[in-house]
Structure 1
Amino acid sequence: MTAPVFRFAPSPNGELHLGHALSALTNQKMAATIGGRLLLRIEDIDVTRCTPEFEAAILNDLAWLGMAWEGPVRRQSEHFGEYEAALERLKQDELVYPAFMSRGEIRGAIMEHEASGKSWPRDPDGAPVYPGTDKQMSKRERQRRIDSGAPFAWRLDTAEALARLPGELNWREWTDGAMTVTADIAANAQQWGDVIIARREIPTSYHLSVVIDDALQGVSHVVRGLDLYFATSVQRLLQQVLGLPQPSYFHHRLVLGPDGRKLSKSQRDTGLAALREAGETPDTVKAMLGL
């Protein structure tokens, strides 16, 4: 019987903080509970912000916490070809389209709409849903703009992707850390609108790379923070249209700062390196996290 596979997947664009520690340790604990394997993935598709120095710091922090994982470490920046192949499939199936509207044009369209007294839909993160105007553009005009070097992003035609599904879209969520109870959660992908799947210069986005990585690494259990709970809807849709296996999910509580917001890498006082320098130990960090 194949052992369950878990993964911890930080981005090396800053230092790890207490929230990352909770996620890493929760993955390790849940994997141990059911005899699973734990993998480490470095999510570094943002080549401008991710650095080898931050990656080295992540590895150092995890080792200090007592984390252990199976090698080799998967670095997304080494696998752009695999993401591009998936993007090409979506293009061939006409499930993505090039979107040329700039941020200023998007803001202008929304402001004009709201000036008439009508509200504009927001996604679960509070950002305005993309207008989708570019979907009406002819193929000839799209190609003309691409050939001219106009900036664009590949967006998922969410309505079309949902229309092609044979049934309802949902995911399996573990409702407790002991992994004894699961629930089927309805995946409401349409609330995100047409999300970015890739950019002209980078053939992927978080949503696309994470589902490809999980499939290629055989990840069976995705354990991560509640801030990504609603994003699961988009990722389940991509898994379905690309014919990828469906993992089970567990979204753990978030570690909040004094202002009640989730921690950020810019809040250095909660960084693991700063806590270590202040004399904290792995055990005291675990106590801070209620572990």
Structure 2
Amino acid sequence: MVTTRFAPSPNGPLHLGHAYSAIVAHDLARAAGGRFLLRVEDIDGVRSKPELAAEFRADLQWLGLEWTEVPAQSSRFASYDDAAQRLKDMGLLYSCNCTRADIAAAAVEAGPEGPVYPGTCQGKNIPGEGAAWRLDITRALARTGTLHWTDDLAGQQRAVPDQAGDVVLLRKDAPASYDLAATLDDARDGVTLVTRGRDLFSASHIHRLLQELLGLPVPRWHHHALLVDKSGTKLAKRRGSPSLADRRLAGEDGQKLAQALRQSRFPAGISLDPS
């Protein structure tokens, strides 16, 4: 059975980009007679606002979507701890106390997400308390060998997790990074088709590696185009993109909006990124 999910973080209201992503996941599942899940990713420290989860449900209902809700990330800390311990026991994690400024100053190359961590803390045995924990990509790939994954739109991919360097899996300020938590949660929830925007394409290389290391099932992926404003910048909470809640409370017809998004008819100043 095809199972997709929409997994928003309650650190700000949903906007049209979220609506488009949710509709893509919903419709792909429905077309295959499968399941569409809602999972609230609420482990982003003080930025998480529990009250927003109710707003998310209201927004999805307003759009005319139907879903099954699964437990939020805040109920899953034990699974993150267990996976991290397994990786530590394999000798694949090391602690790191570098700041972003330290990394930017020491990096010699840039990856998809910015400066690539140069391995400054490898082999230093930094006390784990108060530190982040990074995945030793070189050791991990030596253990797994070459890996592949499939995107419905881009086709088969060879996993290249090393392009991002030694990524953080356990953050200083949260129980797990997005990479670790999302990978574990998708496996636990039985997600078979991971739908998300093209901006997260590079993350799937890391997720494929984690699946192999932890013996998790391998889904297919579907990285859809992004909604952008008239300047070509993707819609984002932090840039104050108009919220779905504002549209809903103003009396706009959510189901008509959803149908327009399906047909690539967007409000003025919004379009799909053609890249």
Query: 1:283 & 1:214 partners in 2: Cα distance?
Result: 28
> What is the TM-score when the length of structure 1 is the normalising length?
0.85
1:253 to 211, 225, 230: 225
Q: Is the 8 A contact 1:269 1:275 kept in 2?
A: no
2:178 to 195, 206, 225: 206
Q: Residue 173 of structure 1 aligns to which amino acid in structure 2?
A: D
Q: Residue 97 of structure 1 aligns to which amino acid in structure 2?
A: Y
Q: Is the 8 A contact 1:268 1:274 kept in 2?
A: no
Query: 1:268 & 1:104 partners in 2: Cα distance?
Result: 26
How many residue pairs align between the two structures?
263
Deviation at 1:38, TM superposition (A): 1.1
Q: Residue 136 of structure 2 aligns to which amino acid in structure 1?
A: D
Matching residue of 1:26:
24
Identity of aligned residues (%): 43
Tell me if 1:241 matches 2:213. yes
Deviation at 1:290, TM superposition (A): 4.2
Tell me if 1:67 matches 2:54. no
Matching residue of 1:41:
39
Matching residue of 2:150:
172
Deviation at 1:199, TM superposition (A): 2.4
Judging changes above 3 Å, is the alpha-carbon distance between structure 1 residues 231 and 290 closer, same or farther for their aligned structure 2 residues?
same
Matching residue of 2:133:
154
Matching residue of 2:111:
123
Query: 1:283 & 1:108 partners in 2: Cα distance?
Result: 49
Deviation at 1:258, TM superposition (A): 2.0
Q: Residue 152 of structure 2 aligns to which amino acid in structure 1?
A: W
Matching residue of 1:78:
75
Tell me if 1:217 matches 2:189. yes
1:108-119 pair list within 5 angstroms: 108-110=105-107
Query: 1:65 & 1:290 partners in 2: Cα distance?
Result: 11
Kindly provide the CA deviation profile for residues 191-229 of structure 1, in whole angstroms up to 9, marking residues without a partner as x.
100111002453311000111111111111111111111
Q: Which has the larger radius of gyration?
A: 1
Matching residue of 1:179:
none
Q: Residue 158 of structure 1 aligns to which amino acid in structure 2?
A: I
Residue ranges of structure 2 left out of the alignment (5+ in a row): 264-275
Q: Residue 109 of structure 2 aligns to which amino acid in structure 1?
A: P
Query: 1:173 & 1:102 partners in 2: Cα distance?
Result: 34
Tell me if 1:133 matches 2:120. yes
| Equivalent position SS for 1:202 | coil
Matching residue of 2:2:
4
Matching residue of 2:268:
none
Residue ranges of structure 1 left out of the alignment (5+ in a row): 111-119, 176-181
> What is the TM-score when the length of structure 2 is the normalising length?
0.90
Q: Is the 8 A contact 1:87 1:203 kept in 2?
A: no
Query: 1:267 & 1:289 partners in 2: Cα distance?
Result: 21
Judging changes above 3 Å, is the alpha-carbon distance between structure 1 residues 91 and 16 closer, same or farther for their aligned structure 2 residues?
same
Q: Residue 150 of structure 2 aligns to which amino acid in structure 1?
A: R
Query: 1:217 & 1:269 partners in 2: Cα distance?
Result: 30
Matching residue of 1:178:
none
Kindly provide the CA deviation profile for residues 171-196 of structure 1, in whole angstroms up to 9, marking residues without a partner as x.
11112xxxxxx721122111100111
Judging changes above 3 Å, is the alpha-carbon distance between structure 1 residues 26 and 56 closer, same or farther for their aligned structure 2 residues?
same
Matching residue of 1:55:
53
Kindly provide the CA deviation profile for residues 249-286 of structure 1, in whole angstroms up to 9, marking residues without a partner as x.
10111000122111011344531112224442124422
Deviation at 1:169, TM superposition (A): 1.4
| Equivalent position SS for 1:74 | coil
Q: Is the 8 A contact 1:225 1:252 kept in 2?
A: yes
Query: 1:160 & 1:205 partners in 2: Cα distance?
Result: 20
Q: Is the 8 A contact 2:20 2:261 kept in 1?
A: yes
Matching residue of 1:106:
103
Query: 1:105 & 1:251 partners in 2: Cα distance?
Result: 32
Query: 1:74 & 1:81 partners in 2: Cα distance?
Result: 13
Query: 2:120 & 2:36 partners in 1: Cα distance?
Result: 43
